[in-house]
Structure 1
Amino acid sequence: MCGIAGIYHLETPKPVDPARVAAMCDAIAHRGPDGHGVWAAPGVALGHRRLSIIDLAGSPQPMASADGRAVLVFNGEIYNYRELRQELKTLGAAFRTNGDSEVILVAWQRWGPDCLRRLNGMFAFAIYDLEARSLFLARDRLGVKPLYYAPLSDGSVAFGSELKALLAHPLLRREIDPLAVEDFLTWGYVPDERAILKGVCKLPAGHSLLLQHGGPLPPARRWWDVSFADRHKGRPADLEAELLHMMRQAVSSRMVADVPLGAFLSGGVDSSSVVALMAEASGRPVRTCSIGFDVATLDESAYARKVAERFGTDHAARTVSAEDFDAVDELAALFDEPFADASALPTWRVCKMARESVTVALSGDGADEALAGYRRHVFQHGEDTVRALVPQRIRAPLFGTLGNLYPKADWAPRMFRAKSTLLSLAGDSAQGYARSIAYLAPEAREALYSDDFLRLRGSYRAEDPVIALMRSAPARSGLDRAQYADLKVWLPGDILTKVDRTSMAAGLEAREPLLDHRLVEFAAGLPESMRVRGGQGKWLMKKAMRRFLPDEILYRPKQGFVTPIAQWFRGPLAETAREIAGGAALARTGWFDTRRLSGLVESHIAGTSDHARLLWQLLMLDKALTRLDSV
């Protein structure tokens, strides 16, 4: 796990100052505290920060190939590098190191861009080919590792693992993209198709980019996709056995490391499953860690303790105070772009705790997206049943009218919160799902924006790309399309961004075995009834894990990390909330109706409404704008 950065001149091979790339790497030094290096040639410079995990002394980067014709900088891990190394040896390759970095180099020289399909891992890397004078950038299938890039005014392209690296370059424009603000207000993060700054791009998951001197900046090329178009055939018992086999393989392959390794353990289905399979594969007790809260309704530590006792893990647990609002500034700085998933705070806490005893930690992230584990997947499955029974010409006016009349009641018990469901049923499957996952519905955003911002935004709506993606997905059903959108948008934009930034800030490598691409591809072919059944998601996975885990772990309501932001904004952060509407950087943009914002703030502080999630979004946007202005 590392950080990479570089500069490449598209137009002519002008000299690149290595000190400039070194400064870009220094901006992401937290990603690689164990080593650093810069390599330069006419028209290009590559930089690297290393967190040593495999071949601790023998794989420094930037790494040149044995023949000197290619140079690599690489962030991530290749889990099948030993098998690939042996295959390449049989084809005549010789190796000087024992790590996975050189395997990528040799594979690139042997197979070119097709080497990507042979790599099983998480990665973002750059390879400069000295003969072709080309730069090849690539990102892993599901977007576990990030890669930003931007064309600059001197004809060069700068790239880096985080926006921080690009911000260290003096030629990067600092102009906010208003469409990214619309995206953020809708989703709580800026999806990979856009960045908060105009002109900055994120290489999408499963894409590559080939840059050549004298050529224009080309579009990214997709090299991997997941298809929900076909269904596996076979007895449920056979599919269950195959799923379990793939999970075992995914876990064991991610247990290879030359440094201490452990796992996050929340006591939920996914992390407990990973720990169970780690314990099965390990000859020594697995190291696990969890955090609990001093507020009973937020605390899951008892479940984590039961799993730890069941598998005899070397378990470390810590109870922390839910009152951790002092860390808000530091948390916002981890992400550069505005990021409003409040679970980032406890995730960061557990990463820092894990780093006290391990350098690599396995997590349970990804199972919900791959195997339909979210409550919204169950709802989508049920709503599509209604859509199939009631024609669109009847649904649209009927449910649309009812939804508009039904009061918004986020404070009420879930069974009485029908407004979103009614409005969702008024549209088709893609429209309904996009509405259901939005932080703020279109009409709520319209009410917040100023007239000036509405002109800047124009006809763009953040839901439109998601709806288009779902409608064109290689899929059969609404559930398929919902999962496809989650894998393509939500997973890299929210979940994996959260885990990458918080783990890297702690100097920890996080690995997600349940996002092994073979497992994801297999899960996409499961019949819907083996993903969602009886009001339960992840049906087949839970069935497969019953031999390892008790029902109280497998079938208890999903909770996840919770941060008490509603209480914060009525207490220690009340004045901060007022500043958002009145005097902070956000208020000075002129993007929002400040009177409307003030009313929302005061009603929340008074306890007559709950606008905590919106206030958290606005606070994170304000923090990001303040930071971008100061860099």
Structure 2
Amino acid sequence: MCGISGIFDTRGRRDFDGGLMHRINDSLHHRGPDEGSIHLEPGLALGHRRLSIIDIATGQQPLFNADQSVGIVFNGEIYNYQALMSELQALGYQFRTKSDTEVIVHAWSAWGEDCVQHLRGMFAFALWDRHRNALFLARDRLGVKPMFYAVLDDGALVFGSELKALLAHPQLRREIDPQAVEQYFALGYVAEPRTVFRQALKLPQGHTLLIRRGEPVGQPRRYWDVDFSVDSKIDEVEAREELTRRLRESVKLRMIAEVPLGAFLSGGVDSSAVVAMMAGESSGPVKTCSIAFDDPQYNESEFAQMVADRYKTDHHVETVQSDDFDLIDTLARLYDEPYADSSAIPTYRVCQLARKHVTVALSGDGGDESFGGYRRYKLHMMEERMRASLPLGLRKPLFGTLGRIYPKADWAPRVLRAKTTFQALARNSVEAYFHTMSVIRDAERMPLYSARFKSELGGYNAREVFLHHAERAGTDDPLAMIQYIDTHTYLVGDINTKVDRASMAHSLEVREPLMDHPLVEWLATLPSHLKLRGGEGKYLFKKTLEPHLPSDVLYRPKMGFAVPLSRWFRGPLRQRVRGALLGGPLADSGLFDLKAVGQMVEQHENGSRDHSTPLWTLLMYDAFLRNVMGAASLREAA
């Protein structure tokens, strides 16, 4: 795992400053503390920070082919590199290293832009082809590894593994994108391909970008998408057998390393499944790492211990205090742009623990999206049955009115909290799912915005992100539709972002067997009744794992990696929230109606409403302004 960066002159062959390139490269030191180097030539600068995992002796980068015509900086792992090496050797290519990096260089020479179709793994790379006078950027299919880029006013293209690499360039304009801010306050992250800055972009998952010198920078090209055809005729018994085979293969591929390797073990189904498969492929005990919480409401450690005991793993546990909120500013600096998933705190801690024992850790991320595991999927399907029974013309006025007049009863038992359900039933399927996924919903979000900021938005609403992906989904299966949307939004924008930054902060490589693209493609062909049945999510996955995991692990209620925000904001963080949200950079930004923000703070403090998620989202935006923008306001940045 590594950090990559570079500058490419799209207009000519100017010389780039070596000192600047070193500063850009060094901004990613945490991603690769083992080695660092840059390459300079007229019109091009490449930087690389290395975390040595495979071919430690000879895998240094930037790496060039024998005649120096093709060079690369690469972040990630190509799990089928050994098979590809044999295939390329048969085509006449000779290797000087044993690294997966050199495989990509020769794959480009052999197959050009289609080289990515041959790669199985997680990757982001920049490849320079001197003969074609072109730079080629690529990102893996599920967006596990990040790639940011920006075209500067002078025609230079700067790229890097994190936004901080771009921010290290003095010519990047720190002008905030209002639509990105709206996405953040709706979703808790800035959705692909935007970043919080107008000038910078994320290369979307499953895309490449070819930049030729002397030509305008075009749009990225999609080379892969998941097809939720849900048309497989396989029976359940065959599906279980095939799933077991695919899980084992995916895990085995990800156990190739020349450094200590282990796994996260949360006690949930996904990470437990990965550990079970690893145990079957290991000659010795698997190293596993868990975080325990001193608050029983959030503690899953007993279930992790069940799996550790069953497979006799070398298990390491550390307890996190329930008031572990000192990471707020650290997280803001890690993520570079606003990011509001509070589970980033325990994720940071489990990566910190794992790095004490291993350099590579396997995770269970991506299972919920492909197997149908989120609780919201069950609720959405219940709503879908109700939506199907009444046309939108009747639902919208009926349930819209109920949604407006029904009280917001955060304190009540779940069965009485019907306001959100009424609001969802008044919408079409995609807009209802956006409503479900919003961390601050439209009815709460819009009153928070100032008149000036609403004017800057010009009517834009972040629901456009979901509507855009729904148009491409190519399915009318309601479960498949929201799985497709999640794969292109929540998985890459929230989950993969969280894990990449938290792990790289500790120079830890995390591998994700449940995001193996052949596995994801196969699961997308399975009918939805094998994923969600009788209110049980991950139906096929759990049935397949019954011989491997305790029933208490498989069929207990899902907990997730949560933190006690509500209590924090009424207790130890009360004054910090007041100070941050009602004064200082956030108040000065001009984004918000401070009266509405103050009312939200008051309602949460007096217990009449639970605004913990919106307050955390605001607090993390304040942390972004202070730590990344240097307390610059939106008005000053624009």
TM-score for the superposition, normalised by structure 2? 0.97
Equivalent-residue separation in structure 1 for 2:531 and 2:199 (angstroms): 40
Equivalent-residue separation in structure 2 for 1:532 and 1:547 (angstroms): 20
Gap regions ≥5 residues in structure 1 = none
> Match of 1:21?
21
8 A Cα contact 2:266 2:272, kept in partner? yes
Equivalent-residue separation in structure 2 for 1:90 and 1:431 (angstroms): 52
1:319 is aligned to 2:319: yes
CA change 1:476–1:582 in 2 (3 A) is closer
8 A Cα contact 1:229 1:476, kept in partner? no
The CA RMSD measured in Å over matched residues stands at 1.2
> Match of 2:406?
406
8 A Cα contact 2:409 2:609, kept in partner? no
> Match of 2:375?
375
8 A Cα contact 1:430 1:478, kept in partner? no
Paired residue type of 1:4: I
> Match of 1:47?
47
Q: CA offsets per residue over residues 1-57 of structure 1, 9 Å max, x none?
A: 000000001111211122222111111110000001111121111100000000111
8 A Cα contact 1:387 1:425, kept in partner? yes
Please identify, of 335-344 and 568-577, the stretch whose mean Cα deviation from structure 2 is larger.
Answer: 568-577
Equivalent positions of 1:12-411 (< 5 A) are 12-411=12-411
8 A Cα contact 1:149 1:201, kept in partner? yes
Equivalent-residue separation in structure 1 for 2:331 and 2:465 (angstroms): 29
8 A Cα contact 1:139 1:205, kept in partner? yes
Paired residue type of 2:42: P
1:527 is aligned to 2:527: yes
> Match of 1:416?
416
Equivalent positions of 1:429-578 (< 5 A) are 429-578=429-578
Equivalent-residue separation in structure 2 for 1:96 and 1:243 (angstroms): 37
Equivalent-residue separation in structure 1 for 2:84 and 2:381 (angstroms): 41
Equivalent-residue separation in structure 1 for 2:236 and 2:246 (angstroms): 15
Equivalent-residue separation in structure 1 for 2:103 and 2:51 (angstroms): 18
8 A Cα contact 1:188 1:617, kept in partner? yes
Paired residue type of 1:557: P
Paired residue type of 2:126: A
Equivalent-residue separation in structure 1 for 2:325 and 2:441 (angstroms): 27
8 A Cα contact 1:231 1:525, kept in partner? yes
Please report how far the alpha carbon of residue 566 of structure 1 lies from its aligned counterpart in structure 2 after TM superposition. Answer: 1.6
The secondary structure found in structure 2 opposite 1:55 is: coil
Equivalent-residue separation in structure 2 for 1:162 and 1:169 (angstroms): 13
Number of positions where the alignment pairs a residue of Structure 1 with one of Structure 2: 631
Please report how far the alpha carbon of residue 409 of structure 1 lies from its aligned counterpart in structure 2 after TM superposition. Answer: 1.9
Paired residue type of 1:584: G
Q: CA offsets per residue over residues 486-533 of structure 1, 9 Å max, x none?
A: 000111100000000000001100011000001111111111100100
Equivalent-residue separation in structure 1 for 2:74 and 2:416 (angstroms): 50
Please report how far the alpha carbon of residue 572 of structure 1 lies from its aligned counterpart in structure 2 after TM superposition. Answer: 2.2
8 A Cα contact 1:263 1:275, kept in partner? yes
Please report how far the alpha carbon of residue 81 of structure 1 lies from its aligned counterpart in structure 2 after TM superposition. Answer: 0.3
Q: CA offsets per residue over residues 110-129 of structure 1, 9 Å max, x none?
A: 10111101100000000000
Please report how far the alpha carbon of residue 239 of structure 1 lies from its aligned counterpart in structure 2 after TM superposition. Answer: 1.3
Equivalent-residue separation in structure 2 for 1:227 and 1:410 (angstroms): 38
8 A Cα contact 1:76 1:121, kept in partner? yes
8 A Cα contact 2:367 2:373, kept in partner? yes
Please report how far the alpha carbon of residue 87 of structure 1 lies from its aligned counterpart in structure 2 after TM superposition. Answer: 0.8
Please report how far the alpha carbon of residue 67 of structure 1 lies from its aligned counterpart in structure 2 after TM superposition. Answer: 2.2
The secondary structure found in structure 2 opposite 1:326 is: coil
8 A Cα contact 2:338 2:620, kept in partner? yes
Equivalent-residue separation in structure 1 for 2:404 and 2:468 (angstroms): 25
Paired residue type of 2:539: W
Q: CA offsets per residue over residues 405-445 of structure 1, 9 Å max, x none?
A: 22112232222221111211222211111111111111211
Please identify, of 621-630 and 264-273, the stretch whose mean Cα deviation from structure 2 is larger.
Answer: 621-630
8 A Cα contact 2:581 2:618, kept in partner? no
8 A Cα contact 1:134 1:210, kept in partner? yes
Deviating runs (4+, > 4 A) in structure 1? Answer: none
Equivalent-residue separation in structure 2 for 1:629 and 1:270 (angstroms): 37
Equivalent-residue separation in structure 2 for 1:628 and 1:476 (angstroms): 42
Please report how far the alpha carbon of residue 255 of structure 1 lies from its aligned counterpart in structure 2 after TM superposition. Answer: 0.5
Equivalent-residue separation in structure 1 for 2:337 and 2:331 (angstroms): 11
The secondary structure found in structure 1 opposite 2:183 is: helix
Equivalent-residue separation in structure 1 for 2:368 and 2:456 (angstroms): 36
Please identify, of 72-81 and 291-300, the stretch whose mean Cα deviation from structure 2 is larger.
Answer: 291-300
> Match of 2:607?
607
Equivalent-residue separation in structure 2 for 1:364 and 1:34 (angstroms): 27
Gap regions ≥5 residues in structure 2 = 632-638
8 A Cα contact 1:124 1:147, kept in partner? yes
1:583 is aligned to 2:590: no
The secondary structure found in structure 1 opposite 2:489 is: helix
Please report how far the alpha carbon of residue 333 of structure 1 lies from its aligned counterpart in structure 2 after TM superposition. Answer: 1.2
The secondary structure found in structure 2 opposite 1:123 is: strand
Paired residue type of 2:53: I
Please report how far the alpha carbon of residue 230 of structure 1 lies from its aligned counterpart in structure 2 after TM superposition. Answer: 4.5
8 A Cα contact 1:73 1:127, kept in partner? yes
TM-score for the superposition, normalised by structure 1? 0.98
Paired residue type of 2:72: L
Q: CA offsets per residue over residues 303-324 of structure 1, 9 Å max, x none?
A: 1011100011010111121111
